[in-house]
Structure 1
């Protein structure tokens, strides 16, 4: 049996056990050790038992990185994110990483929130030979689109946004249908002057919530009176955007209801209303149904995305179980509370 040296034991570490050490202990070849840890490989039961026994005694763990170089599969999936302060994104990261682990993948978080580092981070991930990229609600810049189009040897998936970029599979909530449902809800409440608050604008990846909202209102002889651009999905951005709108003099009558592109913006908008004691004057609807939306203080009416189903379908695309280049759009659920 291979033992630690006295010096190694005293220092609390030892040289890493290799496949050659296991082979020597078991009295077999190194290739027999490799076959023992390769699913479906040809090896006798007796030889496998000898190898596993020796591996247990030595504390051996197979080197998955070395094996990945042989089979050209790393089982590493890059999760690309930008708006890190969005609670819905944190839930999406949690759900996606857990589902990937259940499938035998390891997720690598790629944060592209810092401008100027986006292309560098994606290129670095590609150099690590990841097996796929999942853009988690990411707003794709023109530079990222160009880069993604050059990475065609691995699956590229946009999750929770829409895109018409070639070679990228879309798995998202039906934002257009959701927008129409929210339009019908606000019209039913009797609102006449209705606005929309948007986050970052992207020509490459869309949510289609505004389009559905606008068309839904038009069918009811209404229109989007004003579009408030918050710039990014931050609570402070939502607060400042609506606060500025309320403080700006105008000859037009103020809006009576506002559909915010996500819950974080909606909570910020509600904070602005509470501060000005306008909470009962403007109806607010969000999108995502984050935990804080159900707080009695906000009681936010919102649209819940089917995150578990979306992640399941994205990973099916990743594994090649779903052969489609068309966008996969799933319906969510309108959650009625009091804010609208």
Structure 2
């Protein structure tokens, strides 16, 4: 069998040191353009490929980031996976994805994650428990929560940072728009009862309604699922004084709600009932829906998450929470302005 070329073989052919070869294939390492050209030319001639596993044993860095998610049904998260993976890869990291049970959160896959000696963990749509936070702190693996904030205290709080949209402000904007457009019996369709995103959106929504002299007419929970949202809308509108508008905790559920309102109940949107979602997934702009929604800006959120993770991995930053403004995108599911 043919022996695979080694870094020393490349160094000999290029007439450079082995450390120069190592720096050339290490993202972000300092190496002159002339040196890089010579090393890459020699590597191509020999068919050399760096051994990432061997390098990790030497550097004690795997350059792997674990991405933990609980579900992918929500169309927002495939966008996050794409953008986050692309940005980390450009910086020399690779994403290893884990799917956690929604009831267990990330704790259920912690043992699997730590087998890979990951340099950092990003939790998206997965809950972070104090136990997991403390375990990561003890072994020096930084954690960044994406679109989630956990209620942590003590040492566990120092293990993690977070990046979220300004969910409370988004809830306020939804309330202000619905009241301004003449809706009066306004419902709220929550996600998960223990989800920080849903709770913050509902909190801002309720505060704005109170300031405008009204309150939520009724509420239900869709558990961030399509079928759960459909059932919740059926319950919300199975009453004599049914709502004339509904603010939904995300677009995935809002689309499910619109299907029930139009196809099952025969209601017109936005004339009979207004609908506002949250996320601005691509499907929200489809012609069949044209959903008015609060846009979570994926690019700035991903940029902030990667920056925070890199800072934490290099020991340059303590735990902090980054809040990215969201933007109201008005389409055709609320009445037009007078």
If the length of structure 2 is used for normalisation, what is the TM-score? Answer: 0.84
Cα-to-partner distance string for 1:86-106 (whole Å, 9 max, x where unaligned): 111101111111111111111
Instruction: Determine which of 222, 233, 257 is the counterpart of 1:242.
Output: 233
Give the stretch that moved more between structures: 84-93 or 275-284.
275-284
Rg larger in structure: 1
Aligned residues: 316
Instruction: Determine which of 317, 321, 329 is the counterpart of 1:323.
Output: 317
**Number of the residue aligned with 1:150:** 135
Instruction: Determine which of 194, 206, 210 is the counterpart of 2:202.
Output: 210
Q: CA deviation at 1:52?
A: 5.4
Task: Say which SS state the counterpart of residue 296 (structure 1) adopts.
Answer: coil
**Number of the residue aligned with 2:333:** 339
User: 1:133, 1:155 within 8 Å by CA — same for their partners in 2?
Assistant: yes
User: 2:170, 2:201 within 8 Å by CA — same for their partners in 1?
Assistant: yes
Q: CA deviation at 1:163?
A: 3.0
Is structure 2 residue 280 aligned with structure 1 residue 292? no
User: 1:163, 1:205 within 8 Å by CA — same for their partners in 2?
Assistant: no
Q: Where in structure 2 are there 5+ consecutive unaligned residues?
A: none
CA distance in 1, matches of 2:261, 2:322: 37
Instruction: Determine which of 275, 288, 294 is the counterpart of 1:303.
Output: 294
Say if 1:230 and 1:263 are closer, same or farther in 2 by CA, change over 3 A.
Answer: same
**Number of the residue aligned with 2:148:** 161
CA distance in 2, matches of 1:234, 1:26: 59
Q: Where in structure 1 are there 5+ consecutive unaligned residues?
A: 1-7, 9-13
CA RMSD, Structure 1 to Structure 2 (Å): 2.8
Is structure 2 residue 179 aligned with structure 1 residue 187? yes
User: 1:173, 1:330 within 8 Å by CA — same for their partners in 2?
Assistant: yes
Q: CA deviation at 1:128?
A: 1.1
Task: Say which SS state the counterpart of residue 325 (structure 1) adopts.
Answer: coil
Cα-to-partner distance string for 1:308-334 (whole Å, 9 max, x where unaligned): 011111111111187353321111110
**Number of the residue aligned with 1:88:** 76
Equivalent runs, 1:1-340 vs 2, <5 Å:
14-19=2-7, 22=10, 26=13, 32-38=17-23, 49=38, 54-113=42-101, 115=103, 118-136=106-124, 138-140=125-127, 144-152=129-137, 153-165=140-152, 166=157, 167-202=159-194, 208-231=200-223, 233-247=224-238, 250=239, 253-275=241-263, 276-279=265-268, 280-320=271-311, 323=317, 325-340=319-334
If the length of structure 1 is used for normalisation, what is the TM-score? Answer: 0.83
CA distance in 1, matches of 2:197, 2:332: 31
Give the stretch that moved more between structures: 51-60 or 157-166.
51-60
CA distance in 1, matches of 2:229, 2:108: 30
User: 2:64, 2:94 within 8 Å by CA — same for their partners in 1?
Assistant: yes
